[in-house]
Amino acid sequence: MNNIETANKYVPDYLVTPGEVLEDYLRYAGITQAILADRTGLSKKTINEIVKAKSAITAETALKFERTLGRPAHFWNNMERQYQEDKVRLAEPIEER
């Protein structure tokens, strides 16, 4: 890889999970995971697994979050996509980054 490509390549050094953002959003909105589960029709286990980064936010879940939390589905989808991409980048050996 030449120097220009290396200079313009984003290499994360930490991850922020979509679940962390969701948890902050819920705290700010003053609602619990149980309330979100109730309003979206998802199980409490599913919400908790998203918060704990054990499950991904699917396109269907993003639409439910949009209807319930008011943030567009593309916000949740993009956050999940970026997280998955960054997770792969961080798993690469440093010389390949």
The 10s digit of each residue's pLDDT in 57-83 is 999 999 999 999 999 999 999 999 999
Under 8 Å between Cβ of 19 and 46: no
Answer yes or no: is 8 within a domain. Answer: no
Q: Could you tell me the pTM of the whole model?
A: 0.82
Q: What is the pLDDT of residue 16?
A: 92
What CATH number is given to the structural domain containing 81?
1.10.260.40
Query: Could you tell me if residue 1 is inside a domain?
Result: no
Provide the domain limits for residue 73: 15-96
* CA dist., res. 62 & res. 69, Å (int): 10
pLDDT exceeds cutoff 80 at 10: no
Overall average pLDDT of the 35-41 stretch: 98
Mean pLDDT for 10-34 is 91
pLDDT of 18: 97
Residue 42 has pLDDT above 80, yes or no: yes
Residue 5 lies in a domain: no
3-class SS shares of the chain: helix, strand, coil, % to 5: 70, 0, 30
Establish if 78 belongs to a structural domain: yes
Q: Indicate whether 96 pLDDT > 70.
A: no
39 has pLDDT over 60: yes
